[in-house]
Structure 1
Amino acid sequence: MTGNRSQLPAVVALLTTLLAVTTWAPARAQVVTAGPDSLAVSTPIVTDSARRTASLFGIAMTRPSKAGLLAVMLPGAGQIYNRKFWKLPLVYGAIGGTLYGEFFYQTRYKESLTALEDFAQGRKPSGPNAVLLTDSTRAERYLRAYRTQRDVFIAYTAVAYGLTILDAVVDAHLKDFDISDDLGLQWQPTLIWMPTAALTPGFSLTLTLNNTRSRRPLK
């Protein structure tokens, strides 16, 4: 019992200190502890004008915006701007393949539609695939199937076109960052403030990415 009483002042002092820190902490935005193993990272504010390091038709804009606009105007132009020439076969293969499928099923759809009109007027179809269209029932069945496949390839073309634009924008974003071996990841102990609890011990991780956007000339 005597031992517990002797420890009571220390416990009260600790609780008082924690209460004082908890009361004082909300007045500070964040408590940062610096040690010998910590890394000081400067984070200057980058203005919107500093991000516009590219130019298109005399209009200053960011590299991702320019790459995206070029890819919209001409498939593959964004990849050429990013100097990713090896992606051009993929771009033209994806868009060309889907466009070919759309054209193929559109041609068959129109042929089936013409054959159905011929049957309605008592004529015999004379198209390249007239041998498959033996009656109006079969012509209508082929018409529905080809129309469905045509609509599917229209969607495929839109997806392929959108992916080429997205690829150009993402590549342009990644060009602004230094992805060499000189990347720093530092960790250090810290205290985390929570509104409903006292200061909680934790770890702080700092990943340093060197943004080279401001050093790039207009292109």
Structure 2
Amino acid sequence: MKLKTHYCLFFFLIIISIASAQQDSLLVTPENKSKRELRREVREQDYEPYNALAPAKAAFYSAVLPGLGQAYNGSYWKIPIAYAGIGTGVYFYLENDKQYDRYRNAYKDRLAGRVDEFQNRVSTDALIRAQEFYQKNKEISILVSLGVYLLNIIDANVEAHLRQFNVDEDLSLKPNLDFDAFSGKTNYGLTLNFNF
């Protein structure tokens, strides 16, 4: 029974490969076009038409919802990075805020003459320094979150610009070495090729 299954699977794969090969052989190229024109058509099909508003759209989408601009550009792998960066900043903000409130409440209790959680272990000056430390860390966490949010917007904008950048060989600047057959000298030059 296993052998029969293997034969059926093998036969199925052969049929699929033949069908795909026949599909490729049906591609008809016009006889009157040169290979260079055909290559140019293939290259033009690879490029999307220029959209001047694409970078602005991508930046706007990322500003509305982080990662949406990356999805608009097709870079889905960057979305978790953006959320991880923003989430890390938010996590540390909340953790530092909790510690700040803890030391602040202990400081208030000590000033009011009540028993606090750090009664004999931490001095009043240490409570003040701890509050300042966690306050500073809260502010840094906010700045990190905002920085990642802004980088998310900038990344979406720049990537949308670069996706439309034309790196076609027809717009190239190439050094040229030309041998003059009559004089026997080598000519040096720089050529700028435009093909329309």
Is 1:166 matched up with 2:166? no
CA 96–181 in structure 1, closer or farther in 2 if over 3 Å, else same: farther
Q: Which moved more, 1:149-158 or 1:175-184?
A: 175-184
Relative to total residues, which structure has the larger strand share, 1 or 2?
A: 1
Is the 1:112–1:133 contact (alpha carbons within 8 Å) kept by the matching residues of 2? Answer: no
**Alignment match of 1:148 (pick from 132, 136, 141):** 136
The residue identity in structure 2 corresponding to 1:145 is F
State the secondary structure of the residue aligned to 2:173: strand
Q: Distance in 1 between matches of 2:98 and 2:130?
A: 12
Unaligned segments of structure 1, at least 5 residues = 1-49, 54-60, 189-202, 209-219
Deviation string for 1:175-219 (max 9, x for gaps)?
Answer: 11234676633347xxxxxxxxxxxxxx767487xxxxxxxxxxx
Is the 2:171–2:192 contact (alpha carbons within 8 Å) kept by the matching residues of 1? Answer: no
Alignment size in residue pairs: 137
Is the 1:119–1:135 contact (alpha carbons within 8 Å) kept by the matching residues of 2? Answer: no
CA 168–106 in structure 1, closer or farther in 2 if over 3 Å, else same: same
TM score, norm. by length of structure 2: 0.59
- Per the alignment, residue 32 of structure 2 pairs with none
The residue identity in structure 2 corresponding to 1:140 is I
- Within a 5 Å distance, the mapping from 1:125-144 to structure 2 comes to 125-126=116-117, 130=118, 134-144=122-132
**Alignment match of 2:58 (pick from 67, 83, 105):** 67
Q: Distance in 1 between matches of 2:55 and 2:72?
A: 10
Unaligned segments of structure 2, at least 5 residues = 1-48, 177-188
The alignment yields a C-alpha RMSD, in angstroms, of 3.2
Is the 1:133–1:139 contact (alpha carbons within 8 Å) kept by the matching residues of 2? Answer: no
CA 152–207 in structure 1, closer or farther in 2 if over 3 Å, else same: farther
Is 1:95 matched up with 2:86? yes
- Per the alignment, residue 112 of structure 1 pairs with 103
Q: Distance in 2 between matches of 1:131 and 1:167?
A: 50
Sequence identity, in percent?
A: 28
- Per the alignment, residue 47 of structure 1 pairs with none
CA 152–206 in structure 1, closer or farther in 2 if over 3 Å, else same: farther
TM score, norm. by length of structure 1: 0.54
Is the 1:64–1:170 contact (alpha carbons within 8 Å) kept by the matching residues of 2? Answer: yes
State the secondary structure of the residue aligned to 2:153: helix
CA 103–183 in structure 1, closer or farther in 2 if over 3 Å, else same: farther
